[in-house]
Amino acid sequence: MKKVLVLGGGFAGVEAAIFLRKEGFEVDLVSPRPYMYIYPTSIWVPVYDAEFADVCIPMEDLSKVHGFNWIKDEVVKIEAKNKKAICKNGEYSGDYLVIAIGAGKVKVEGSENYLSICGDPEDAIKMRDKIDELVTEKRGGKIAMGFGGNPKDSSAVRGGPAFEMMFNVHNYLKKKGLRDRFELTFFATMAEPGKRLGPQALKMMDIFFNKLNIKKHFGKKIKRFEKDRIVFEDDSILESDFTMFIPANAGHPVFKESDLPLSEAGFVLVDEYCEVKDIPGVYAVGDSAYIEGPQWRAKQGHIAEVMARNTANNIAVSSGVKVGKLESYIEHLNIICVMDSGDGAAFVYRDDKRGIMLPMPLVGHWLKKGWGWYCKNSKLNKIPRLPGL
């Protein structure tokens, strides 16, 4: 039985391991975290709508259910041509290599002065504690939330969770009867955050901000973050008692010391079948890979899982394990999400033909709650997995 070495325990890595096992391969999965973290539903941890454990799937449980070997270790170097990973505690290799260790971040001075809902998982708990402090001790204050961009790669932006966090915090403060004591400001380095979702979504987002009395600060690059403020390139400031910021993605730092071909932004160059260019038998999926496509393209969990499933199929076909055709991720490129607000949501969809944003008061929140439950339980085989999901 041929072995596949999978690096990374997020959406892409776990999905690759699951489907490679279905194809009959032996799989070693290397990840330092003892759990898979469900980032899309972590937005509820800071506002007490979910516990930290609710958005984690134990890696030991996943490995037992699906039959792959989980190795608790952290990758420090990749020798792609040798299909080898050098880690803190050992070296690992396989007949095939799948890279899914995610991405790095665009650096901004003063990163110790903000927390990120798309960063270290423990940040969600720290955010809850910081908001708690403002609610219980100060009974008011200024909260700023936003995200940045990467001029070298338009797909490396994570804006949706920032919008969701702001709307959820607004709703949380409203429930506490303290909304009028807080000044909420949404900031972004681009002039029109959310533009990739289409003109309808951009217009509707502006309506939401005005309706909820959320201030906007758009179109200025960030010079640095300070403890109680954000300083922009023109030396203007935005005061903030608590700042949540999602920096844009960049290539993972490990890639710089590897023999992998990289894009200008540092992501691994792959073909449409997720195979690394000029290195047969090595694949990159999810946030690790450079995604070809239209300017509006975005790296999302469902795209990562499509790439992972396709990779399992493509390795099986290429190795002769099964007869079939190679599968491309490009035909599946779209943006799709349920943007939660705590008391409702909006369904967002974008492809080459259209971009829509459909408000779903009340029911939308529970729809996303249902997805979170499904995501966790289907991966543990406690409920049947729907085709294509």
Report d(CA 188, CA 224) in Å as an integer: 13
For the stretch 203-222, pLDDT in tens is 888 888 999 999 999 999 99
Specify the pTM: 0.94
| Amino acid 384: pLDDT | 62
Contact 173, 285 (CB under 8 A): no
Report d(CA 33, CA 8) in Å as an integer: 9
Contact 363, 341 (CB under 8 A): no
Domains present along the chain, CATH in parentheses: 3-103+251-333+369-379 (3.50.50.60), 107-248 (3.50.50.60)
Report d(CA 351, CA 196) in Å as an integer: 10
End-to-end CA distance of the chain: 27
Query: Which residues are 239's β-sheet partners?
Result: 229
User: Most distant CA pair in the chain: distance in Å?
Assistant: 65
The residue among 290, 259, 260, 288 whose CA lies nearest residue 272 is: 290
Contact 159, 193 (CB under 8 A): yes
| Amino acid 101: pLDDT | 98
| Amino acid 194: pLDDT | 80
Q: Which residues of the chain have pLDDT under 70?
A: 382-389
- Tokens coding 26: 């032996």
| Amino acid 389: pLDDT | 56
The whole-angstrom distance between residue 330's C-alpha and the CA centroid of its chain comes to: 19
